[in-house]
Amino acid sequence: MKWGIIGLGSIAHKFASELLLEKEEVYAVASRNLDKAKEFAAQYQCSHYYGSYDEILEDENIDIIYVATPHNSHAEITLKALEKNKNVLCEKPFGLDYDEVLKMIELAKKKKKFLMEAFWTRFNPTFLEVYKKIQNGDIGEVKYIHADFAFPANMKEKNRLSDRSLGGGSLMDIGIYPLFLSYAILGLPAEIIASSHFSETDVDIQTSIILNYKNAQSILHSGLGYHSNMEATICGTEGRIIIHSIWHMANSYTIIGNNEEKKKYNPIKRGIGYTHEIQECVKCLQENKTESELWTHQNSLDLIKLLDDTRGKIGLQFK
């Protein structure tokens, strides 16, 4: 496939190197700065580069656009790309709120174009195996999930994590991962309890969440000032699964039975792991699908609803 990348920051570099690993073509890239685009293109054997996001969307040869900009611009860029009849893979969180995500999905349906949130953990081989084992009932009925994601970020300078106007804060950037895990395994909760501490720039620097289900609970955490274990534990009536650190991009997991018998598994992951979502996009495009069956439009709507509702509890507003 001929890929076009918009927004040439940190994740765009990782993604481009994984495209090359998958023998995909980094065909065109766009930055707000032409020199930056030229330099990026040279690094990834890319034949076309543009100094604005609008220009790349005029390129008729692109098969799929990957949006890798800050959260506040995902919806605007995706909508423009869909208007120009492009297939789109857009970084998480898909949009700032439910309304933005709904508009993106409605336009994709109208234009009959492929659209997917780049929720790479969904395609991670360890997650896929863990998910299958839970569905098979290997640990019985899931009663409790614990997952966190925290790292020390630079909150003193203005950047996409510290700046509220860019959709900053821990919840939207990394809290989305523990929410995803709980949602993927237990679905939407009956109740959300959440509490945050805020930065001087008025974004959440740490957020703790309890999701209450009819017969289960999840305890989730995100933070931007320190490292956490970054391990996820899923406890069922017949045993528990530990997805080892760093769980959202895991290489291994352990199943522990109620008799404390342990077995560790190491599913094969290619590269950093973006390869697996890339493979999913290619497969969907080859099969003329407009959405992935593994991470559907409804899944993205549910996840953004969870984020909206959690933001409501902690008082984090973007608009």
Q: Are 113 and 294 in contact (CB under 8 A)?
A: no
Nearer to ligand NAP, 39 or 129 (CB): 39
Taking alpha carbons only, the member of 215, 210, 263, 213 closest to residue 239 is 263
Least separation in angstroms between CB 192 and ligand NAP: 21
* Crossing angle of helices 274-286 and 10-21, rounded to 10°: 60
Among 17, 21, 25, 36, binds ligand NAP (CB under 6 A): 36
Query: What letter represents residue 3's amino acid?
Result: W
Q: Which stretch binds ligand NAP (CB under 6 A): 66-74, 206-214, 288-296, 307-315?
A: 66-74
Among 1, 2, 11, 233, binds ligand NAP (CB under 6 A): 11
Name the CA dihedral angle for 17, 18, 21, 24, rounded to a multiple of 10 degrees: -100
DSSP per-residue codes, 35-82: HHHHHHHHHTT-SEEESSHHHHTT-TT-SEEEE-S-GGGHHHHHHHHH
Task: Map the footprint of ligand NAP across residues 116-175, applying CB under 6 A.
Answer: 118, 120, 160, 166, 173
Least separation in angstroms between CB 167 and ligand NAP: 8
Note whether 8 binds ligand NAP by CB under 6 A: yes
DSSP H or E segment with residue 17:
helix 10-21
Nearer to ligand NAP, 32 or 270 (CB): 32
- Burial status of residue 292 (CB atoms within 10 A of its CB: 0-12, 13-18, 19 or more): buried
Residue sitting closest to ligand NAP (CB): 9
Q: Which stretch binds ligand NAP (CB under 6 A): 31-39, 145-153, 214-222, 278-286?
A: 31-39
Residue 23 backbone class (left: φ over 0; alpha: ψ -120 to 50; beta: rest): left
Mask: binding to ligand NAP, 68-97, rule CB under 6 A, as x and -? xxxx-x-----------------xx-----
Nearer to ligand NAP, 41 or 242 (CB): 41
Least separation in angstroms between CB 12 and ligand NAP: 6
Note whether 31 binds ligand NAP by CB under 6 A: yes
Cα 34 to the chain's mean position, in Å?
28
Q: Which stretch binds ligand NAP (CB under 6 A): 6-14, 56-64, 132-140, 286-294?
A: 6-14
Least separation in angstroms between CB 29 and ligand NAP: 8
Phi, psi of 81 (to 5 degrees): -65, -45
d(CA 50, CA 181): 37
Taking alpha carbons only, the member of 296, 242, 305, 290 closest to residue 99 is 305
Least separation in angstroms between CB 148 and ligand NAP: 16
Site size for ligand NAP, by CB under 6 A? 22
Nearer to ligand NAP, 11 or 210 (CB): 11
204-212 β-sheet, strand order: 191-198, 204-212, 217-223, 142-150, 232-236, 239-243, 253-257, 262-265
Nearer to ligand NAP, 38 or 109 (CB): 38
Nearer to ligand NAP, 144 or 151 (CB): 151
The residues of the shown chain that bind ligand NAP, judged by CB under 6 A, are 7-12, 31-33, 36, 68-71, 73, 91-92, 118, 120, 160, 166, 173
